[in-house]
Amino acid sequence: MTDDGCERHPPFSIRHPSSVHSPHMNKNFVAELQAGLDSLKAAGTYKKLNHLASPQSARVQMEGRGEVLILSSNNYLGLCDEPSVIEAGIDGLRQYGAGTGSVRFICGTFTVHRELETALARFVGTEASMSYVSAWNANEGLTASIVQEGDFVISDALNHASIIDSIRLAKAITKCTTAVYKHSDLDDLVEKLSAQKAAKRRLIWTDGVFSMEGSIAKLPQLLQIAKDHDAILIMDDSHATGVLGKTGRGTAEHFGVLGEVDVITSTLGKALGGAAGGFVAGPAALCDTLTQRSRPQLFSNALPPTVAASALASVEFIEKHPERVQQLRDNTAFFRGAIVEAGFKPLDGDTPIVPIIIGETADAIKMSELLLDEGIFVTGFGFPVVPQGTARLRCQISASHTKADLEFAVAAIRRVGLKTGVIK
């Protein structure tokens, strides 16, 4: 590492650009990319971006569409446009400026980062926490920083892509042993842990809430298995922080085991204001280790202070207003009941993620497009995000939805379902 904190590659000779690339090669490259895009369009699986001209909320202004009801946002508690959260971000911008200018150990750590990390640790029931510019960075930085050669890392089959990639990176760096257990199949987990008794350490990675299913990890059983096998339990609680538990403290509070999970990672980009950022929470020694070794900490700017300030305000808002969490729970129960009554069979669950299985990817995307014509923005997900044949509309409920919003959504989904033959 150089004295400016930048990692350098070995010196290399500089060649004239004409000796590296030719116009012919560039044209082929672009043509290949375009052919791939054309095939997606022909298959009906091409993803189109819709542009919003207003804050993320229950209803938004969409370019070319006017007002649209959002049914696919992670804005679970409606804090994206909560006035106190917005004002905190503005105050943070005025006090600390637009950005951090470099990495934390080089140019200093703003006090708002310390305040945020103290609040996050308090909120999820750990000794300390460390913030990152994204939850992806948090997961990526964690695994590679703590795993060593001789360790065994095992992951639920439906874990988020950031967990999967973090384990792949750790394996490439440390040559640790890895495995995947069948989704929520604890017998499979135990069998594979038992076969790794000689491993130096055993680490279990799980989501708290599985984002495409809306299902909740069997946390009490996982904690017992971790204890029985002297394993470290790591849980990504991104879709549970601010959502599950009586006061929104996540999966651990939901099961009455707050403070018992070894390591929790989560996001600031969903229920906690929805801006950006993520964090790792656990023992103080872990967070200090991440400060020393985590590559996203060592080579990337810290979370913008305005985002840290708005996220801190979000945590404080939830602590003061547990009724917002209850409103989310009430809205979810109403929508689940109404969508079943409308003739659909969503995946069972207790979370505000309500997946309606459609089948083929093209059909799910088509249904999503028809719903947009009805004034409902809900995304169709298909392969490779979910397995072939299980494409779905992933409806996500917010505390900011009114009963009228949800009734309007259910009526529109039913009309489109009848039109497409998804329901009879």
pLDDT tens for the chain, residues 1 to 424: 444 445 555 554 445 444 455 555 688 999 999 999 999 888 877 888 999 999 999 999 999 999 999 999 999 999 999 999 999 999 999 999 999 999 998 888 999 999 999 999 999 999 999 999 999 999 999 999 999 999 999 999 999 999 999 999 999 999 999 999 999 999 999 999 999 999 999 999 999 999 989 999 999 999 999 999 999 999 999 999 999 999 999 999 999 999 999 999 999 999 999 999 999 999 999 999 999 999 999 999 999 999 999 999 999 999 999 999 999 999 999 999 999 999 998 999 999 999 999 888 888 888 999 999 999 999 998 887 888 889 999 999 999 999 999 999 999 999 999 998 888 8
Beta bridge partners of 265: 236, 280
| Contact assessment for residue 398 and residue 331, using Cβ atoms and an 8 Å cutoff | yes
| Contact assessment for residue 219 and residue 253, using Cβ atoms and an 8 Å cutoff | no
Cα 36 to Cα 26: distance, rounded to the nearest angstrom: 16
- Pairing assessment for the beta strands 278-282 and 263-267 based on DSSP bridges: antiparallel
The two tokens of residue 132 are 């990152």
Look up residue 412 and give its amino acid. A
Tell me 10's DSSP state: P
| Contact assessment for residue 397 and residue 406, using Cβ atoms and an 8 Å cutoff | yes
Cα 187 to Cα 193: distance, rounded to the nearest angstrom: 10
33: three-class secondary structure by DSSP? helix
Q: Give residue 131's pLDDT.
A: 97
Q: Give residue 26's pLDDT.
A: 83
The torsion angles phi and psi of 349, rounded to 5 degrees, stand at 165, 170
Q: Give residue 24's pLDDT.
A: 56
Among 419, 124, 105, smallest CA distance to 264 is for 124
Q: Give residue 363's pLDDT.
A: 87
Among 291, 279, 180, smallest CA distance to 238 is for 279
Cα 281 to Cα 234: distance, rounded to the nearest angstrom: 10
Task: Quote the Cα angle for 29-35-40, to 5°.
Answer: 135
Q: Which residues are catalytic?
A: 211, 239, 270
